[in-house]
Amino acid sequence: MNKRRLIRVASGKEKADLVLKNVNLINTLSGEIYITDVAVCDGYIAGIVPGYKGIIEKDCKGKYLSPGFIDGHVHIESSMVSPSEFAKAIVPRGTTTVIADPHEIANVKGLKGIDYILSFVDKIPLNIFIMLPSCVPSTNLETSGAVLSAEKLSKYHDNPNVLGLGEFMNYPGVINTCDDVMDKLEMFHDKIIDGHAPMVTGMNLCAYRAAGVTSEHECTTVEEALEKLRMGMYIMIREGSATKNLLDLMPLLNKFNERFCFFSTDDRHPDDLIQEGHIDNMVKMLVIEQGNIVRAVRLASKNAAEYFGLKELGSIAPGYKADMLVIEDFSKMIIKEVYKDGKLVAQNGKAIFENIDIVDESVFSSINTIIEPEKIKIKVNNKSIINVIEIIPSQIITKRIKVKPLIKNKYAQSDVENDILKFCVFERHNGTGNIGTGFVKGLGLKKGAIGTSVSHDSHNINVIGTNDKDIIKCAEIIKENNGGQAVVCDGKVLDVLPLPIAGLMSLWSLEKVSEKIKSLHSICKELGVSLKDPFITMAFLALPVIPDIKLTDKGLVDVTKFKFIDLVEEL
């Protein structure tokens, strides 16, 4: 910033670079909407009163001017595309800043994964700030690609684009003052620490907050959010792909507490980004439901900026960065123009900046799996029963049920007629040869096998199938593509989406990825799958922090007791 020139422009002594005239300014500081002019100089707001002259002047009569939207908590990897492609999808929709937790790629590639996301800072017209992954791995019940200690994370402490620690999922470790947890909390005591403590309440919640955790994005009810507000925690209102909480939490908001709430998408998948949008979708929903434009915009901008200490973002006023949106209609969310640092970067829903992809070999070649067909055989007898993971539709929680297995030649088989299908988790990071075996109910698959290398949080290879040959073939094709999602039937690969960036992200455009996902879903449906998106469901079947029962590469886990259990029991 040229401070002297900014002052001269602000005082009207020198022309601005850009003047947007006759805008309906949404002022997130005063809570007003009023007609004025906005002058921009060197990427900053110089003035917000009528009468400025500019090198470029635009008449915006009838249109609103909003600060750029901020996503307070997002995993870029869930878009399944590179950060550059992600920016091309969300910037035209008004998001100019994201607070990213690279938790997914860090579980695969460790510090190299964090560095990959940071490498896009200043190279694309999107502010990327990082909250460091606080729980890698999430538990000791699975094999991840990295272990990130406080010592390893300390190298980022003074990075200006690193704001603190991301969602602290290990809330039992916080409450019980475990040494490795306390090391991280103490290392980053002077930074922001985000929370992840669903349904934690009472004294345990007091302990969690006392540890320095100051936000929560897992609230699903007003009662839960209100208790956390009372504790001094900011509430991130989430509207993602798998979890949607905005409508349920809207009644929470009032004129006093709304400043302690802001928007988050957490995980948004390609089709949702294209069809529904990003933070703009949340703004539209709130305006339609409550009719309060200023509240919606403040939750989408200023509140997150205040929480994260981003003093130059979240408002349109002198000295703030010129991240601005020209909006024609809030009920339909028509964003005509997007400015980043005073430069036009999107117009009429289209990005007008170049796609700058960074090819980083250190985050490729992420599959190091040993596939041994004999290991997926499950020996049983006539007195055996098996513990089965039952899928609950539209939920990431599961249910534990016990069934008699279908037996052939002394081995348990997929029981297609009763929708009991073999489920295998292949360790893919360290070449351990670990293969967790189990069964799942609720997928509906009648033929073949489906698999994915996107599997929270350790991202091993998950495959569910009706027979062993297709299960092995599916795992092999995912390995050959250095990660991906695939469908196999009768030994033939019906379709595959390669995900070579850490087995999580594609090198393709968002639109091409979305089309391929639609193709995979269509094939799954033809093979009998009853779920709308079986790959999202599969991605959470190996996450041993979500009740009741999950399968990791190390075995079957009773999440309620946080311990391994036998797949096969005797009557």
What are the pLDDT digits (tens) for 294-327? 999 999 999 999 999 999 999 999 999 999 999 9
For the cut 90, the answer to whether the pLDDT of residue 183 exceeds it is: yes
d(CA 289, CA 299) in angstroms, rounded, equals 14
Which pLDDT belongs to residue 560?
85
Least confident of 54-63, 84-93, 357-366, 543-552: 357-366
8 Å CB contact between 49 and 37: yes
Which pLDDT belongs to residue 393?
84
Question: What CATH number is given to the structural domain containing 52?
Answer: 2.30.40.10
Confidence band of 355 (pLDDT split at 50, 70, 90): confident
Which pLDDT belongs to residue 3?
95
Which pLDDT belongs to residue 74?
98
Domain that residue 289 falls in: 68-312
Tokens of 392: 């609950």
My answer on whether 393 and 489 are in the same domain is yes
Question: What CATH number is given to the structural domain containing 124?
Answer: 3.20.20.140
Give the chain's length.
571
8 Å CB contact between 315 and 27: yes
d(CA 403, CA 387) in angstroms, rounded, equals 7
Residue with token string 């703009």: 280
Q: Determine the angle formed by the axes of helices 83-90 and 510-526, rounding to 10 degrees.
A: 90
3-state secondary structure of 228: helix
Flag whether 386 is in a domain.
yes
My answer on whether 12 and 93 are in the same domain is no
Q: What is the CA radius of gyration of the chain?
A: 25
Tokens of 225: 């959010």
My answer on whether 278 and 374 are in the same domain is no
Tokens of 431: 């070449």
Which pLDDT belongs to residue 357?
76
8 Å CB contact between 75 and 104: yes
8 Å CB contact between 347 and 336: yes
Share of the chain above pLDDT 70, in %: 100
Which pLDDT belongs to residue 360?
82
My answer on whether 475 and 538 are in the same domain is yes
Residue with token string 């069809």: 275
Residue 451, CB half-sphere, CA atoms under 13 Å: how many?
38
My answer on whether 427 and 445 are in the same domain is yes
Confidence band of 207 (pLDDT split at 50, 70, 90): very high
Q: How does DSSP assign 387-419, residue by residue?
A: EEEEEPTT-S-EEEEEEPPEEETTEEE-BGGGT
State mean pLDDT over 349-368: 85
Q: Residue 299's CB: how many other CB atoms inside 10 A?
A: 27
My answer on whether 93 and 41 are in the same domain is no
Enclosing H/E stretch for 539:
helix 534-539
Candidates 42, 38, 54, 47; CA nearest to 1 is: 42
Confidence band of 541 (pLDDT split at 50, 70, 90): very high
Flag whether 84 is in a domain.
yes
Which pLDDT belongs to residue 175?
95
My answer on whether 26 and 73 are in the same domain is no
Q: Determine the angle formed by the axes of helices 202-210 and 222-230, rounding to 10 degrees.
A: 50
- Domain count of the chain? 3
State mean pLDDT over 329-343: 96
Q: Which residues pair with 555 in a beta bridge?
A: 552
Q: In terms of DSSP bridges, do strands 435-441 and 420-426 run parallel, antiparallel, or are they unpaired?
A: antiparallel
What end-to-end distance do the CA atoms of the chain give, in Å? 75
For the cut 90, the answer to whether the pLDDT of residue 362 exceeds it is: no
Cα distances (Å, whole numbers) of residue 57 to 20, 94, 329, 493, 533: 6, 21, 22, 57, 48
Confidence band of 149 (pLDDT split at 50, 70, 90): very high
My answer on whether 75 and 58 are in the same domain is no
Which pLDDT belongs to residue 272?
93
Domain boundary pick from 47, 62, 77: 62
State mean pLDDT over 22-46: 98
Candidates 403, 399, 503, 407; CA nearest to 460 is: 503
d(CA 180, CA 57) in angstroms, rounded, equals 56
Which pLDDT belongs to residue 432?
96
d(CA 474, CA 456) in angstroms, rounded, equals 19
Which pLDDT belongs to residue 160?
97
d(CA 146, CA 405) in angstroms, rounded, equals 36
d(CA 273, CA 83) in angstroms, rounded, equals 14
Q: In terms of DSSP bridges, do strands 435-441 and 449-452 run parallel, antiparallel, or are they unpaired?
A: unpaired
My answer on whether 87 and 52 are in the same domain is no
Flag whether 356 is in a domain.
no
My answer on whether 558 and 440 are in the same domain is yes
State which amino acid sits at residue 432.
Answer: T
8 Å CB contact between 238 and 264: yes
Tokens of 419: 């929708």
Tokens of 330: 């809030």
Confidence band of 139 (pLDDT split at 50, 70, 90): confident
My answer on whether 21 and 81 are in the same domain is no
My answer on whether 146 and 226 are in the same domain is yes
Which pLDDT belongs to residue 354?
80
